[in-house]
Structure 1
Amino acid sequence: MRRPLPAGPEPDFGIYLRSTPTGSVTWESVWLRWPDMWLPADRAAAREALCDAWSRASAQRVEVACRGGRGRTGTALACLAVLDGVPPRDAVAYVREHYAPRAVETPWQRAYVAAFS
């Protein structure tokens, strides 16, 4: 969330993973209380938002973001990969290869992805 939006159209939908709500955006969005280096405070709400984002992504531009873009965002992207068919045991490696080498920063984030189905 510290970086400007990438080139191209604005997102149609965003999921923002922060301890506190983000500033307003002009597109539909969901804020999930997700402290830095930890897990979502409400795992059911996180699952619902991630499933919604996954279903929208086939036809809409979806943004997933936290403050730094590695731990929480990487964890959410790994969960989206699981929803898309990547085995949970391979999802962190997949996100590290295709998104960021240090994504999914903590052991509990890795465990969250492994248990996500």
Structure 2
Amino acid sequence: MTNETWSADTPGVLRLPSGRLIRGRGLRNPLPPGQKPEFGVYLQGKEPAPVEWESKWVKWTDFWLPADRAAFVETLREVLKRSETERVEIACSGGYGRTGTAMSCLVTLDGIPNSEALAYVRENYNKRAVETPWQKRFIGRFSG
């Protein structure tokens, strides 16, 4: 562990209310230049390709919700903890729907009310974050 998080100006980085930095990205795009993650969470319907850093797979079909919600909450808690000192990324195929949903749930764990989480992520990560009505509803009802 390098004990160094992302630079705030790194593309795709979301600053959480606590100041922690998390990178979101789409896996269909090439790995961005610069620093590599130290821990990644990959939201995919099938197991993703291996990466050279520690990672965790959350089974999550495109446009839907996590298959195991308890494991998803546990993973987000790990993301929050590790992002204090490590470069952590969350990614799905496009970097919008599942990634935006996960980041919205993450900001609720970091102190933003559920009713404001999606707006926070759209303003601070990507305006296209979260793609379906049930993903929006999931954020509204999320509790960690």
Q: Same fold (TM over 0.5)?
A: yes
Structure 1 residue 8: Cα displacement = 2.7
The answer to whether structure 1 residue 68 and structure 2 residue 94 are counterparts is: yes
Question: For 2:34 and 2:110, how far apart are their aligned partners in 1?
Answer: 24
> Out of 30, 35, 38, which is 1:4 matched to?
30
Question: For 1:8 and 1:57, how far apart are their aligned partners in 2?
Answer: 18
- For 2:3, the equivalent position in structure 1 comes to none
Runs of 4+ residues over 2 Å off in structure 1:
4-8
> What is the aligned length?
117
Structure 1 residue 86: Cα displacement = 0.8
- For 2:74, the equivalent position in structure 1 comes to 48
> Out of 50, 53, 74, which is 1:27 matched to?
53
Deviations 1:47-76 (A, max 9, x none): 111110011111100010000110000000
- Counterpart secondary structure, 1:74: helix
TM-score with structure 1 setting the length: 0.95
Identity of aligned residues (%): 55
Write the mapping of 1:83-98 to structure 2, written as runs, cut at 5 A.
Answer: 83-98=109-124
Query: Any unmatched runs of 5+ in structure 2?
Result: 1-26
Query: Any unmatched runs of 5+ in structure 1?
Result: none
Letter in 2 for 1:53: V
The answer to whether structure 1 residue 104 and structure 2 residue 130 are counterparts is: yes
Letter in 1 for 2:30: P
- Counterpart secondary structure, 2:55: strand
Question: For 1:7 and 1:59, how far apart are their aligned partners in 2?
Answer: 21
Greater per-residue helix proportion = 1
The answer to whether structure 1 residue 80 and structure 2 residue 106 are counterparts is: yes
Greater per-residue strand proportion = 2
Letter in 1 for 2:39: F
- Counterpart secondary structure, 1:32: strand
- For 1:39, the equivalent position in structure 2 comes to 65
Q: CA RMSD in A?
A: 0.9
